């Protein structure tokens, strides 16, 4: 039985956790446990709440660790126990993964020192402060560590992981089943495509929404 542990914390980004979950749950003989500082409801960004099945003190190992991002990742003082748990889990995982700014929690746990990694484009400096080298790709694998860029790339990361664990044909079948065939209405899904002016306006817009 493969154990998938998904970390939750106040302010996590819902799609960072649920997108990969809806892919990885198709891995053969896999059980999923959502883990937080304490079991029970955990409120994510935008108010969506998920239920943590277990407290971190009750989970002493997993095969796949998934760490989402979100506004709560920068509260290192408030995330001390979670960061320590991530470090302990990483010592024995088969795969340690993050989505978006979840990479900053991996960095705080000492997982990314000296590794290529990716994260949300607005958190590059924060990532490199932990000794990682930012790589502007949607999915970056370094040994057993797999990081994904911004929110939606978690699905790409999970499909890549399914291929590593169960083979290409199995991953193709999962992709078909969830009908993952992105056709976005605008080709502005990366800084390189959006350009500096739209990027600047986006930072201003999202910043004002977060303050509101």
Show which residues are catalytic.
Answer: 100
Give the tokens for residue 39.
């079991």
Cα–Cα distance, 190 to 168 (Å, whole number): 26
Residue of 74, 80, 77, 133 whose CA lies nearest to 109 = 80
**111 in Cβ contact with 144 (< 8 Å):** no
| Radius of gyration for the alpha carbons in the chain, expressed in angstroms and rounded | 16
Number of neighbouring beta carbons within 10 Å of residue 132? 27
**156 in Cβ contact with 138 (< 8 Å):** yes
Element spanning 98, H or E:
strand 95-99
């Amino acid at each position: 039985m493969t154990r998938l542990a998904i970390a939750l914390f106040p302010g996590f980004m819902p799609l960072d956790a649920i997108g990969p979950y809806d892919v990885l749950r198709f891995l053969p003989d896999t059980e999923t446990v959502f883990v937080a500082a304490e079991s029970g409801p955990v409120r994510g960004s935008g108010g969506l709440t998920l239920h943590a099945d277990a407290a971190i003190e009750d989970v002493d190992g997993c095969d796949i660790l998934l760490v989402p991002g979100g506004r709560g990742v920068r509260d290192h003082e408030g995330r001390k126990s979670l960061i320590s748990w991530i470090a302990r889990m990483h010592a024995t995982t088969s795969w340690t993964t993050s989505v978006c700014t979840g990479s900053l929690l991996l960095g705080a746990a000492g997982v990314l020192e000296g590794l290529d990694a990716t994260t949300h484009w607005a958190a590059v400096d924060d990532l490199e402060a932990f000794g990682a080298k930012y790589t502007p790709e949607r999915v970056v694998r370094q040994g057993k560590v797999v990081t994904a860029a911004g929110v939606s790339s978690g699905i790409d990361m999970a499909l890549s992981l399914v291929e590593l664990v169960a083979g290409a044909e199995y991953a193709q079948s999962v992709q078909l089943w969830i009908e993952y065939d992105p056709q976005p209405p605008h080709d502005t899904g990366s800084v390189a495509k959006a350009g500096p002016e739209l990027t600047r306006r986006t930072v201003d817009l999202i910043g004002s929404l977060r303050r509101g």
